[in-house]
Amino acid sequence: MALPRIRILATGGTIAGETCPGGDITRYRAGVRPVEALLTAVPELGALATLDAEQILSLDSKDMTPDDWLCMLSAACQALADPAIDGLVLLHGTDTLEESAYFLHLALPTGKPVVLTGAMRPADHPEADGPANLLAAVKLAASAEGVGKGVLVVMNGKPHGARHVRKARTSGLDAFESDPDWTTARPDGRFASLARAPLPRVDILPGYAGAPAKLIDACVADGAQGLVLALSGHGSVPSAWEPSLRRAREHGVAILRASRCAGPVIRNANADDDREGWLTAGDLPPPKARVALMLALAAGWDSATRQTCLPTF
């Protein structure tokens, strides 16, 4: 029987990283090794799938931008539209992996498996985790288990759904977690038919003791079309922010209440969202709520329908 055909799209990250000259293991450059070298390091892949690979970006994912998301989306759409391709694996830095994964989860057509993976140790580390992660990702992308769950992430032997995955720890191989686990993951793809256009600017503003309201005015003056407020507690808006937020709404800027806690932020609880015209993030963390809002704005959803791209509580 023919092996499944899997396309690998490489974007850089620590999985393609190399230790800086001098050998200090804590200092390395991400996104250095080409994808061909990463594949050659895992000869077992040949028994799982027929692979072809494309180096679409070579970035440390801390530098990933929304334009880079669109670059990934376009390469992924092209691969998934090819009847010869059975599944897709994206190699990505771990820092912003959950943002890219959720963006693709909302924007890609559903059907074929799409799996993102990365590494916590660079490729030249004596106990690099990249090869095992790559192997696990290809295995999942080539399997029936990877179908019908939307975009998935595999790290340290564990699959996660894009909706709930997050990088929870700065170091260690077990840096990623998700709750509930991936077996409950469902496909999304609600923005799959969106025409490719630059994504509108949406900024995230943290709430903290003494956070200045001037930051809101500065973001609006600088062109933000949406603001995600990463607030304390149950999405609690500081009283001092209210005039600036009202001015922002008068300029047509979308305002979304999210929390720096695990959530949820419930509509019209703790704030009069209906009266103010604010959106609420439900249990989406601020970076993922931002992704959903950017897509809703890009799709031209009006303020009445925008809330439907966010989980409701």
Q: Report how many residues bind ligand ASP under the rule CB under 6 A.
A: 11
Dihedral angle sign, alpha carbons of residues 236, 237, 238, 239: negative
* Residue with smaller CB distance to ligand ASP, 52 or 63: 63
Distances from the Cα of 92 to the Cα of 64, 68, 76, 118, 283, angstroms: 10, 12, 13, 5, 25
Buried b (16+ CB within 10 A) or exposed e, 43-68: eebeebbebebebbbbbbbeebebeb
Q: Which of 6, 8, 9, 30 binds ligand ASP (CB under 6 A)?
A: 30
Which of 95, 98, 99, 273: binder of ligand ASP (CB under 6 A)?
A: 95
Q: Does the footprint of ligand ASP cover residue 99 (CB under 6 A)?
A: no
Element at 279 (helix H, strand E): strand 278-280
Rule CB under 6 A: is residue 264 a binding residue for ligand ASP?
A: no
Among 19, 60, 255, 259, binds ligand ASP (CB under 6 A): 60
Q: How far is the CB of 48 from ligand ASP (least distance, A)?
A: 23
Residue 283's CB is within 10 A of a number of other CB atoms, namely 18
- Determine, following the binding rule CB under 6 A, whether residue 178 of this chain makes contact with ligand ASP: no
Is residue 19 near ligand ASP by the rule CB under 6 A?
A: no
Shortest approach of ligand ASP to residue 126 CB, angstroms?
Answer: 17
H/E run at residue 107: helix 97-107
Distance from the Cα of residue 42 to its chain's centroid: 26
By the 8 A CB rule, do 100 and 72 touch?
yes
| In the complex, minimum distance from the CB of residue 190 to ligand ASP, in angstroms, rounded to a whole number | 27
Comparison of 94 and 307: residue with beta carbon closer to ligand ASP:
94
Is 61 near ligand ASP (CB under 6 A)? yes
Local structure of residue 118 (DSSP, 8 states): -
Q: Catalytic residue at 40?
A: no
Residue numbers annotated as active site: 14
Residues that bind ligand ASP (CB under 6 A): 13-14, 30, 60-62, 93-95, 118, 120
